[in-house]
Amino acid sequence: MSRYALATALLLGLMMQDAAALEDPMRPPGNAATPSSSRSVTRFVLSSTLIARERRSAVINGRSVGVGETVDGARVIEILPAQVRLQHQGRQLTLQLLPVAVKKPVSAE
C-alpha cells in the first residue's frame, strides 16, 4: 500500500507542477500575469475616475491618485471622466476605462 501512496503522491506532484504554468481563462482583461522576460514592464490599469467640483481622482493599479501625484513611477497629468493621461519615462500614456455596455430591453410586440 505504501508503493501505491508514493506513486499517487508523485503523480499529483507532477500534475500540480504543470497546472501552475497554465493561465486562468476566467481572469479579466488587463490582469494578465507579469511577463517572465528579463526586462521589467510596468503595467497601468485604470479602474475608475472621480470628477467632482473640488477634486479629480483616479484609481490606477489599485491606488487612488490625483493630478500631479505619481503611481508606479508615472506622474498623473490629467484626469477626464473616462480616461487618464500619464507621463512615464519621457512618454505620455493614455489609460481608458472600458465602455459601459447598457442592455436594452426587447420590446414585446
Residue 57: its H or E element: strand 56-60
Nearest to 34 by CA among 61, 16, 69: 61
Q: What is the pLDDT of residue 21?
A: 56
Q: Which three cell numbers stand for residue 73?
A: 513611477
Sequence-separated (6 or more) residues with CB below 8 Å from residue 10: none
Calculated CA dihedral for residues 51, 63, 77, 95, nearest 10 degrees: -80
Q: How do residues 60-108 score in pLDDT, each as one tens digit?
A: 999 999 999 999 999 999 999 999 999 999 999 999 998 777 777 787 6
Q: How do residues 19-50 score in pLDDT, each as one tens digit?
A: 555 666 777 766 555 544 445 667 899 999 99
| pTM check: above 0.85 | no
Beta-bridge partners for 75: 70, 87
Distances (CA, A) of 53 to 47, 56, 57, 106: 21, 8, 11, 38
- Chain centre to alpha carbon of residue 59: 11
Q: What is the pLDDT of residue 65?
A: 96
Q: What is the pLDDT of residue 4?
A: 73
* Domains of the chain by residue range: 46-96
Q: What is the pLDDT of residue 46?
A: 94
Q: What is the pLDDT of residue 40?
A: 60
